[in-house]
Amino acid sequence: MARDRARRSARGNRQGLLLVGVVLLAAGAAALAAGRGLFGASVAGDTLLNDAVRGALASAWMPYAVVAVAFVAAFLALRWLLVQGLNDTIGRLVLERGADGRVELPESVARGALEQEVADYPGVRRARARLTESADEPHLRLALTLDDDADVASVWRRVRSEALANLRRSLELERVPAVVRMSMTAPAKNPRRSLA
């Protein structure tokens, strides 16, 4: 389910950020403690690349360990980037489910009908919709671009009382949670120049 995938992604983001934060905090605290002499005066006064560190860096296994750590870090970073780019839009809506099978509708059909209906309202320049979460209980994200002189309250009333009601009726659902974002366009510049 898309909802579960989004939750897993958010939980993974939090856990990854927590892990990176803890590692950086521990490294910073250790460096501060070493600099303040909490590990002894010899550690505080010693250079960063002392003989022990140089010996470890010169060992035969060090290049392999560095390459392995780099591969793991690159894999985790690539996986994180791919998860961020996943689209949570559902592909199909389930209209009816029974013992003999189920009736499905492509999400693009419902989305297209809603966008067309709302785009025809006075003052609406563009409407973009997405149905997300799950095929059985979809959520709607509707982004509207309004003309600069549009009656925002009137557009909102029509979206709520007509468009969302029509969507619920057509999908045979009691409720469709929705997030509606409205933005205004800049006024169009007059292309005509006055000739003087």
Distances, alpha carbon 120 to alpha carbons 24, 125, 127, 147, in Å: 54, 8, 9, 13
- Reply yes or no on whether the pLDDT at 194 is more than 50: no
d(CA 30, CA 36): 10
**45-59, 142-156, 160-174: which range is least confident on average?**
45-59
Mean pLDDT of 117-132: 91
In terms of domains, do 104 and 36 share one? no
Q: Where a domain ends, among 53, 84, 115? A: 84
How many alpha carbons fall within 13 Å on the CB side of residue 124?
A: 24
Structure tokens belonging to residue 18: 């927590």
Output the pLDDT for position 118. Answer: 93
**Is 194 inside a domain boundary?**
no
**Is 195 inside a domain boundary?**
no
Claim: this prediction has a pTM higher than 0.75: no
Burial of 100 (0-12, 13-18, 19+ CB in 10 A): exposed
As a whole number, the mean pLDDT across the chain is 82
d(CA 129, CA 171): 15
Give percent of the chain above pLDDT 70.
Answer: 85
Domain that holds residue 154: 92-184
In terms of domains, do 148 and 74 share one? no
The closest alpha carbon to 172, from 134, 138, 133, 130, belongs to 138
**Is 192 inside a domain boundary?**
no
In terms of domains, do 72 and 121 share one? no
Output the pLDDT for position 29. Answer: 92
Mean pLDDT of 10-24: 85
The closest alpha carbon to 136, from 163, 97, 164, belongs to 97
In terms of domains, do 73 and 149 share one? no
Output the pLDDT for position 196. Answer: 45
Q: Where a domain ends, among 84, 103, 128? A: 84
Burial of 79 (0-12, 13-18, 19+ CB in 10 A): exposed
**Coil, helix or strand at residue 8:** helix
In terms of domains, do 54 and 78 share one? yes
In terms of domains, do 8 and 71 share one? yes
**Is 190 inside a domain boundary?**
no
Q: Which residues pair with 141 in a beta bridge?
A: 130, 179
**Is 193 inside a domain boundary?**
no
Output the pLDDT for position 80. Answer: 78
In terms of domains, do 63 and 105 share one? no
CATH of residue 101's domain is 3.30.70.1350
Output the pLDDT for position 134. Answer: 78
**Is 189 inside a domain boundary?**
no
**Is 57 inside a domain boundary?**
yes
In terms of domains, do 49 and 98 share one? no
**Coil, helix or strand at residue 180:** strand
What is the domain count for the chain?
Answer: 2
Mean pLDDT of 96-104: 77
Q: What one-character-per-residue DSSP string does 32-63 give? A: HHHHTTTT-HHHHHS-SS-HHHHHHHTSTTHH
Q: Where a domain ends, among 20, 50, 84? A: 84
Q: Do residues 93 and 111 lie in contact, with contact meaning Cβ atoms separated by under 8 Å? A: no
In terms of domains, do 141 and 78 share one? no
Output the pLDDT for position 150. Answer: 87
24-47 pLDDT, tens digit per residue, is 999 999 888 888 878 777 766 777
Q: Which residues pair with 92 in a beta bridge?
A: 106
In terms of domains, do 54 and 106 share one? no
d(CA 34, CA 13): 31
Which H/E stretch holds residue 25? helix 2-35
**Is 60 inside a domain boundary?**
yes
